[in-house]
Amino acid sequence: STIENGNFEWSAPSNIALVKYWGKKDNQIPANPSVSFTLNNCKTITKLGFEKRATSTPLSVTNGFSFDLLFEGKPKEDFKPKIQKFLERVEAYLPFLKDYHFTIDTQNTFPHSSGIASSASGMAALAMNFMSLERELNPEMTDAYFYQKASFLARLGSGSACRSVKGNVVVWGNQANIEGSTDLFGVEFPYTIHENFKNYQDTILLVDKGEKQVSSTVGHDLMHNHPYAERRFAQAHENLDKLIAIFKNGNIDEFIKVVESEALTLHAMMMTSMPYFILMKPNTLQIINAIWKFRNETQIPVCFTLDAGANVHVLYPENVSEKVLQFIQDELVVFCQNSQYICDKIGSGAIAL
Ligand code: PMV
């Protein structure tokens, strides 16, 4: 490699799954396909500085890799093992990694330890930066290759991160009737999406900012020998099928049924694994019940989904925004930690800065 030094900077958004990824095989291959909305405002912004190392540099310290890590401008030692692991997993695909010393300078647009997972946006932003360096060394690569490989690398960092490279709706995992879908990287939903989903809103209610009691790595592993695993994986294919039709016909009532059932099924898998666990909090249930009551009384098509945590994502079409935000302020904010919530919406993926 001939490039001596320089830097790149990328932002990558978080994403929220509609059909959930929960359970995996070796090498971050998902047990079932998933689909997500890419978000717009919740992002990680990462600058990658790189500098050619002298050939005499001892390669002993961190298994041959050399990097410094800054989080919000300050050295962050406790994130380094995650990055180290990522570099080890992607080295086979980025053979130049040991030729450089890297400075990884990263920050999130959402509050620190808000309970919003930063692994998807963080790993996606890092993967984009490394692809920029690969393109520098290999200028003839196509844009399609650039984005596919970025998603492939992000997947090796954190599975759901492969859905944060592109927008607005991304499918990850092989599904027979979705052209181009693959277990190896996320692809943009390849068919036209009904305008009812244009600018779809996601208001994230921060119920509990505490550290997760169970990491997603442990959670995925508990799907091995899980009594309902096989049926669940089949169900994910069925629900993705339903969403293909729904994205085409714009039926929001059907959308709500699939999305809420997926959220509760994710948590049902956690409650029925061994060991079993519960990530929802009392206020999570208060919010779900309030959403159901509001929807029944007003017929306004608002629904919820959940990640592997207690926070609630409130999803609704743009044309009911005003009424739903009023409802959130009047009835749901009381269930949020320090009254905190984040207004987000569907977005278009990673951006070079
Ligand atoms: O990307 P991971 O390994 O942290 O798994 C994330 C899994 C869920 O967020 C719970 C669901 C999903 O599909 O994003």
Atom of ligand 1 nearest to the CA of 34: 13
Find out whether 339 and 211 touch, Cβ atoms under 8 Å.
no
Please write the tens of the pLDDT for every residue from 197-210.
999 999 999 999 77
Domains of the chain: 5-192 (3.30.230.10), 202-345 (3.30.70.890)
Q: How confident is the model at residue 63 (pLDDT cuts 50, 70, 90)?
A: low
Which residue is closest in CA terms to ligand 1's atom 6? 160
Contact 170, 190 (CB under 8 A): no
Give the span between the Cα atoms of 184 and 74, in whole angstroms.
34
Compute, in angstroms, the gap from residue 15 CA to the centroid of ligand 1: 10
Is 152 a pocket residue for ligand 1 (Cβ < 6 Å)?
Answer: no
Are 189 and 169 contacting, i.e. CB atoms less than 8 angstroms apart?
yes
Closest to 278 measured CA to CA, from 291, 268, 265, 293: 268
Residue 65 DSSP code: B
Query: Measured between alpha carbons, how far is residue 223 from residues 31, 119, 305, 306 in Å?
Result: 9, 20, 20, 18
ipTM of the complex: 0.99
Res. 11 pLDDT band, cuts 50 70 90: very high
Q: 238 C-alpha to center of ligand 1: Å?
A: 19
CB-ligand 1 contact for 34 (6 Å cutoff):
yes
Does ligand 1 have an atom closer than 6 angstroms to the CB of 121?
no
**Taking 60 as the threshold, does the pLDDT of residue 60 lie above it?**
no
Question: Is 349 strand, coil or helix?
Answer: strand
Q: How far is the CA of 119 from the centre of ligand 1 (A)?
A: 9
CB of 216 sitting under 6 A from ligand 1: yes
**Is the CB of residue 37 below 6 angstroms from any atom belonging to ligand 1?**
no
Rg (CA), the chain: 20
Distance (angstroms) between ligand 1 centre and the Cα of 159 equals 7
pLDDT(249) > 70: yes
* 216 CA to centre of ligand 1 in angstroms: 7
Does residue 119 have its Cβ closer than 6 Å to ligand 1?
Answer: yes
How far apart, in whole angstroms, are the C-alpha atoms of residue 120 and residue 309? 15
C-alpha–C-alpha distance, residues 263 and 265, integer Å: 5
* Residues 332 and 324: beta-carbon distance below 8 Å: no
Mean pLDDT value of segment 16-24: 98
Q: Distance from the CA of 100 to the center of ligand 1, in angstroms?
A: 31
Ligand 1 proximity of 172 Cβ (cutoff 6 Å): no
Pair type for strands 66-71 and 24-25: unpaired
Pocket flag, ligand 1, residue 21 (CB < 6 Å): yes
User: Which tens digits make up the pLDDT trace of 80-104?
Assistant: 999 999 999 999 999 999 999 999 9
**Average pLDDT over the chain, rounded to an integer:** 95
81: phi then psi, degrees, rounded to nearest 5: -60, -35
Residue by residue, DSSP assigns 198-245 as TT-EEEEE----SPPSS-HHHHHHTTTT-TTHHHHHHHHHHHHHHHHH
